[in-house]
């Protein structure tokens, strides 16, 4: 298993996998900067991304192909994303989830009130209109 920078060549696969898991794709950035893909030889099997807002990062679009779950791929992707966040000087990572709060709590994220989220994150498409208000908001200090 190797982790690579996401590229436009695998974008159709990424979109298909995200849609298959009912995750948003409409606001997926044109350029996939700070997005990573887990590859099993030449087959993409997982994906994760981060939008940056000054010192804050927004983790988004984490997904692992169903045939590759429970193999620690998500943990590897989160670890790679956190390394990139450190490199960029990100001090806090945020995310919104409807289904994975338990998983992310195990990774050091804590549930926070929507009103405590820094203003740059609240202006993101994920926060402003893509994810429902019922989504759990989580934060991790780096």
Q: Tell me, what CATH number does 37's domain have?
A: 3.40.630.30
Question: What pLDDT is stored for residue 69 in this prediction?
Answer: 93
Question: What pLDDT is stored for residue 132 in this prediction?
Answer: 80
**Low-confidence residues in the chain, pLDDT < 70:** none
Question: What pLDDT is stored for residue 30 in this prediction?
Answer: 85
Number of domains in the chain: 1
Instruction: Give me the domain span that covers residue 108.
Output: 2-141
Q: Is 116 helix (H, G, I), strand (E, B) or coil?
A: helix
Question: What pLDDT is stored for residue 47 in this prediction?
Answer: 95
From CA 62, how far away is CA 100, in angstroms rounded?
10
From CA 40, how far away is CA 137, in angstroms rounded?
31
pTM of the model: 0.93
C-beta contacts of 122-130 below 8 A and 24+ residues apart = 123/53, 124/51, 124/53, 124/58, 125/27, 126/24, 126/27, 126/51, 126/58, 126/60, 126/96, 127/58, 127/96, 130/24, 130/26, 130/27
Helix ranges, 1-142 (H): 11-20, 73-87, 101-106, 119-122, 125
Closest CA to 48 of 98, 82, 1: 82
Question: What pLDDT is stored for residue 131 in this prediction?
Answer: 83
């Amino acid at each position: 298993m190797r982790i690579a920078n996401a590229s436009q060549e695998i974008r159709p696969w990424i979109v298909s996998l995200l849609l298959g898991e009912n995750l948003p794709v409409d606001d997926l950035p044109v350029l996939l900067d700070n997005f990573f893909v887990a590859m099993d030889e030449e087959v993409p099997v997982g994906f994760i991304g981060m939008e940056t807002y000054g010192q804050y990062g927004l983790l988004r679009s984490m997904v692992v192909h169903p045939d590759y779950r429970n193999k620690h791929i998500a943990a590897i992707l989160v670890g790679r994303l956190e390394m990139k966040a450190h490199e960029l000087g990100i001090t806090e990572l945020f995310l919104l989830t409807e289904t994975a709060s338990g998983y992310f709590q195990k990774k050091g994220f804590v549930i926070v009130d929507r009103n405590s989220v820094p203003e740059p994150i609240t202006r993101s498409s994920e926060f402003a209109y893509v994810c429902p208000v019922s989504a759990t908001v989580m934060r991790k200090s780096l």
